[in-house]
Structure 1
């Protein structure tokens, strides 16, 4: 009886990812064409796929999940009308298609590891639904990322010496013995009767992966670390021969069986030295008793049993170690959740906190909250969006972004929050997405002209400017402007200087870009862009070189906060008054920090998280108010975070 195809029927806004079914037959075509497909009936949700959506591949042959992939096109019918056919003459049986790319290469997840994450999708012992909500997709990405292969290190020309700490930081800190100014580098980022498509497919026409998939091959690479079977057999035969119960050497000398066994061992040793003596040994020993062959067979069988037992024990140990690691991570996660729950009054509890649904019951007060976007918490890269109320110390979870995103930039345009660029710790993005706080929804927007991270941004007169940054090879002076009327990013007047890990802000209709790294040195210089003249001009330089700092505007002045000066993270603050045209030294923060998130809320500057000089991810918040100075806020809700972006979303 034909089985019924089941769907979750998630809407486009609810869809957080898609799993594509596969086996071991057509990887080359999938990878070379960068195209995935499913039978036509699955177009009901494939049509909801948009660029940037996470994708995964479940290999039905080994029941493992591979990723992380990402859609680079919308889900469509018949992108390739003849894909996965024997000679290209027949119409494809998998017309619901999407073009893809590899977001990050990770080891495969066995079903025992990913099944608990998507357990609600299982409708039988071996069958599950392919549609993932945002929570499931985010957890799968986090799990796969924890098993990611070490990314290649890419370095800008003459980079600043901010080195990777076990691939956790794209920019971290180390001091040379010479104490010379240091410079940043950044790293980036159906073979059986069970048919997951039910009556839609059979074992011969399943779209799948085969052994050519580099992700699958790499996940099995550590098998080569095991000793050769012949060497194990040889070692054990040698030992068993020495202690064989048939041996009578202790009484009457060596038995024929023992002598034969020693000859076998000797032949093995001789052959290992490149000298085959088999013919000579046959001449010397033309006859062996039947018992000797029986003994060899018996010993060989015992060896196979020992090997099987060893493999079974190794597998069990590996499974237990993984479970232990997962338990430790889960304990850490639950500890953070408990701290947040303790800090949230009962009246502000959300459905997301009670049921796991990420959508809050009530929207945050836009005039009381700072939005925190993405980042890194010391364990994993994040796609999360939170609203933080410093007054009540309440952190609300909002709908996450489509992508894990850190060291990106944010700006406000047309009552929406735009997030662009950045990366996931390995790969850099050109993608852009916007968030509407009214309906708690994200929307994909036109991409930047090229991939970049550690850039800055500001919005002026209905346009967003994406400023500077870098791609891992070079630092940029480029500036791109998003024209909402045209609906795309347009290259505009470049800065006078290349600036990576800079900071920028709008004040009185002008755009200011401050500090950063130009590929050689950290910078004290600053520039001002006047959209009326459409040109950049230099302004007075700061007193301190700095990059990965924060810049905010408050009370008609610019405040530059913290950062890295080429040697250390610094707590220093400088204040620029455009009316006077000079930088003044301000009161320093309580804590040295860089890569922090900063925003102005109700005439106060809030600096959240960041990294200090010993690569510790901070969980503290500092507040500055004119006339009162800096104070540390004892926040229990924010937790550790760095490489995040912050913005205040006023309703005016």
Structure 2
């Protein structure tokens, strides 16, 4: 890392605070098994069918920290990202496990699933889906941004969601997932006109459309050796199953009609009355046993029953309207995606213009009143491209979105310049200056870890993809040493690593080097006087005070003196032949403390604390000063205050505002040593 420090994060554990968790900032509250009252799983419209068909829900591996706490019977819910609706009520049919189906939700089953934290499910009660405005007030404490929320539910939240959904229950019995071909044949074999059962009740003519097939849920059927019926292929099928399938088909039609009527999806009231009332009649007929009741029912429907020749036409009209609604919905989705893309482009343009304005304002100020050893910049472009006079800030999160941005920050003028962004959004990464370029490796987002590496060339303002790491990992540390780059520790949300990878440009790939003495996730590392230091972190069970050093001449790691306090998700920088461990998380709270290590003495000494306790911060040494940028407070707020430290002066809270809120980012000084 040279004089730069990179933001680090810490590992999942029940000892963490309920939010802003190590590598799990955007997906875990880390409720204990006793506190867990329910879990929301995610899907899209295209994957919901497979969830129901396989009776399986899944989440990315990082979510296993709480999926493992699921036991059979726990209430579950399914959130459709495409429509932003919550479906339920489901319950766990197994405990939470990894890779129940290793190839679920993949295109052709040739690749392993991206959602291995899985649980088998069954339907507890079929209900109408809740729109986000309906369920958001119930789980408002889980929202960490405008559109993102944690999936873990406490008992109170789960109970309220079940109560809300139960009020919209639409079936008294479970459905059969994706009717088998033989059973579909049974349903289709019944004639389209009225058929009278032994009890005199009129049955609904068969009606099959995409809606009926799309309601995949979990159910079972009893069999009997005494009563059978035959399908079109002369296969024997239980008669009770026949009756159950008929009733299910009727339920499906009635539910859809009811939902459309309640949502006002019919173009006019006359169609609503004409279609919904006959459907109600069918359900009522199940309980009518004499001709008088039937006559009363027909009178209530204006003399129309299901023998009416108008009924098939009405159903056909309804089917056509459903198809029109589907087409309309798809068109709205396309328009929404287009608008979102344009909005993102507009936001980028606004940010570029804001940076330009700040540059021009700074230039105006500079030309009016620079003095002393400050240099007059002749043009904005020359000013902004002078990277030797700035701190580079890489990626991160601003409380709303993950960033792929690379910014050049000039503290002396409080100006932030946008440079060419990385190829993908990236946080929890490590950075190192190497061969005149800036290397960024590992990291990821709230749901994905990377093994990718890319480097930035300031001469042409371009990024280049480099050989990938051997493992996907985040919350790692790294530094350049003796013509090589070292990637140290980290984890993937399930494991903590002690492994070290080394990139040798002459070999052209990352190779395994001597592992550290301890597993360290959310550690910090820096090079000083030809040695690599790795400090603090999380080993899978506790935060660490320990530190160790790699001396290339000895080709091994050795323990050095331990810090006075445990810490992870901190930063480490080297200044004036000393190491500075800054802030972080001690297992209880974000801390402001600073410790200083002098290799000549071999011990850590307390330094002056920062004004603000923070973790997930970025730090860099610039002109004999340490700048601490962003991070997260104990109360979960993202820090927008930059602090500056000079020996003999302590920490000063600056008024620099150009960077704004930022956490999970990395910082490094590009030019000069």
Closer, same or farther: CA 166–472 of 1 in aligned 2, 3 Å: closer
Structure 1 range deviating more: 323-332 or 443-452: 323-332
Structure 1 range deviating more: 330-339 or 405-414: 330-339
Closer, same or farther: CA 309–548 of 1 in aligned 2, 3 Å: same
8 Å CA contact 1:434–1:443 kept in 2: the answer is yes
Match of 1:582 among 603, 610, 629: 603
Match of 1:550 among 567, 571, 575: 571
Match of 2:308 among 268, 293, 297: 293
Matches for 1:197-346 after TM superposition, within 5 Å: 228-233=252-257, 265-271=280-286, 293=308, 340-345=355-360
1:302, distance to aligned residue in structure 2 (A): 8.3
- Give the whole-Å Cα distance in 2 for the aligned partners of 1:593 and 1:221: 38
Over residues 415-437 of structure 1, what are the superposed CA-to-partner deviations in whole Å (9 max), with x where a residue is unaligned? 11111011122111111111111
Match of 2:562 among 530, 533, 541: 541
Match of 1:527 among 522, 535, 548: 548
8 Å CA contact 2:14–2:32 kept in 1: the answer is no
8 Å CA contact 1:173–1:615 kept in 2: the answer is no
1:514, distance to aligned residue in structure 2 (A): 0.6
Aligned partner of 1:608 in structure 2 is 629
1:645, distance to aligned residue in structure 2 (A): 0.7
3-state SS of paired residue (1:345):
helix
Over residues 555-580 of structure 1, what are the superposed CA-to-partner deviations in whole Å (9 max), with x where a residue is unaligned? 11111111000010111111111111
Residue 395 in structure 1 maps to residue 381 in structure 2: no
Structure 1 range deviating more: 316-325 or 571-580: 316-325
Residue 568 in structure 1 maps to residue 589 in structure 2: yes
Structure 1 range deviating more: 598-607 or 156-165: 156-165
Over residues 529-563 of structure 1, what are the superposed CA-to-partner deviations in whole Å (9 max), with x where a residue is unaligned? 11111111111111110000010011111111110
Closer, same or farther: CA 237–469 of 1 in aligned 2, 3 Å: closer
- Give the whole-Å Cα distance in 2 for the aligned partners of 1:533 and 1:291: 90
Aligned partner of 1:378 in structure 2 is 399
Over residues 275-300 of structure 1, what are the superposed CA-to-partner deviations in whole Å (9 max), with x where a residue is unaligned? 9x99999xxxxxx8999836657876
1:487, distance to aligned residue in structure 2 (A): 1.5
Paired residue total: 426
Matches for 1:119-268 after TM superposition, within 5 Å: 160=16, 163=19, 169=25, 228-233=252-257, 265-268=280-283
Q: Which has the higher contact order (CA 8 A, sep 6+)?
A: 2
1:619, distance to aligned residue in structure 2 (A): 1.8
3-state SS of paired residue (1:585):
strand
The normalised TM-score by structure 1 is 0.55
Closer, same or farther: CA 160–519 of 1 in aligned 2, 3 Å: farther
Aligned partner of 2:498 in structure 1 is 477
1:489, distance to aligned residue in structure 2 (A): 1.3
Closer, same or farther: CA 268–638 of 1 in aligned 2, 3 Å: same
- Give the whole-Å Cα distance in 1 for the aligned partners of 2:646 and 2:443: 31
3-state SS of paired residue (1:231):
helix
- Give the whole-Å Cα distance in 1 for the aligned partners of 2:445 and 2:571: 21
8 Å CA contact 1:168–1:378 kept in 2: the answer is no
- Give the whole-Å Cα distance in 2 for the aligned partners of 1:547 and 1:610: 13
Unpaired stretches in structure 2, ≥5 consecutive residues: 1-9, 35-79, 89-250, 263-268, 271-275, 297-302, 365-379
- Give the whole-Å Cα distance in 2 for the aligned partners of 1:587 and 1:468: 28
1:316, distance to aligned residue in structure 2 (A): 9.9
Over residues 485-542 of structure 1, what are the superposed CA-to-partner deviations in whole Å (9 max), with x where a residue is unaligned? 2122121111111100000111111111110000000001111111111111111111
Closer, same or farther: CA 507–650 of 1 in aligned 2, 3 Å: same
- Give the whole-Å Cα distance in 2 for the aligned partners of 1:449 and 1:637: 37
- Give the whole-Å Cα distance in 2 for the aligned partners of 1:502 and 1:471: 14
1:636, distance to aligned residue in structure 2 (A): 2.5
1:324, distance to aligned residue in structure 2 (A): 9.9
- Give the whole-Å Cα distance in 2 for the aligned partners of 1:373 and 1:632: 22
- Give the whole-Å Cα distance in 1 for the aligned partners of 2:528 and 2:506: 23
Closer, same or farther: CA 519–170 of 1 in aligned 2, 3 Å: farther
- Give the whole-Å Cα distance in 2 for the aligned partners of 1:177 and 1:290: 54
8 Å CA contact 2:432–2:479 kept in 1: the answer is yes
- Give the whole-Å Cα distance in 2 for the aligned partners of 1:524 and 1:166: 17
Over residues 95-131 of structure 1, what are the superposed CA-to-partner deviations in whole Å (9 max), with x where a residue is unaligned? xxxxxxxxxxxxxxxxxxxxxxxxxxxxxxxxxxxxx
The normalised TM-score by structure 2 is 0.54
- Give the whole-Å Cα distance in 1 for the aligned partners of 2:277 and 2:29: 60
Aligned partner of 1:85 in structure 2 is none
1:156, distance to aligned residue in structure 2 (A): 5.9
Structure 1 range deviating more: 440-449 or 560-569: 440-449
3-state SS of paired residue (1:402):
coil
Matches for 1:23-42 after TM superposition, within 5 Å: none
Aligned partner of 1:486 in structure 2 is 507
8 Å CA contact 2:537–2:543 kept in 1: the answer is yes
8 Å CA contact 1:173–1:568 kept in 2: the answer is no
- Give the whole-Å Cα distance in 2 for the aligned partners of 1:409 and 1:591: 24
1:367, distance to aligned residue in structure 2 (A): 2.5
Match of 1:518 among 539, 552, 555: 539
1:639, distance to aligned residue in structure 2 (A): 1.7
Closer, same or farther: CA 298–522 of 1 in aligned 2, 3 Å: same
Matches for 1:342-361 after TM superposition, within 5 Å: 342-345=357-360
- Give the whole-Å Cα distance in 2 for the aligned partners of 1:262 and 1:571: 68
8 Å CA contact 1:339–1:637 kept in 2: the answer is no
- Give the whole-Å Cα distance in 2 for the aligned partners of 1:274 and 1:610: 71
Aligned partner of 2:179 in structure 1 is none
Aligned partner of 2:443 in structure 1 is 422
Residue 505 in structure 1 maps to residue 526 in structure 2: yes
1:379, distance to aligned residue in structure 2 (A): 1.2
Over residues 348-377 of structure 1, what are the superposed CA-to-partner deviations in whole Å (9 max), with x where a residue is unaligned? 69xxxxxxxxx9777622331111111111
Closer, same or farther: CA 380–369 of 1 in aligned 2, 3 Å: same
3-state SS of paired residue (2:388):
coil
Matches for 1:448-487 after TM superposition, within 5 Å: 448-487=469-508
8 Å CA contact 1:479–1:493 kept in 2: the answer is yes
- Give the whole-Å Cα distance in 2 for the aligned partners of 1:588 and 1:273: 80
1:642, distance to aligned residue in structure 2 (A): 0.9
Residue 598 in structure 1 maps to residue 619 in structure 2: yes
Over residues 362-401 of structure 1, what are the superposed CA-to-partner deviations in whole Å (9 max), with x where a residue is unaligned? 7622331111111111111111111111111111111111
Closer, same or farther: CA 547–232 of 1 in aligned 2, 3 Å: closer
Unpaired stretches in structure 1, ≥5 consecutive residues: 1-153, 179-213, 239-244, 247-260, 282-287, 350-358
1:157, distance to aligned residue in structure 2 (A): 8.0
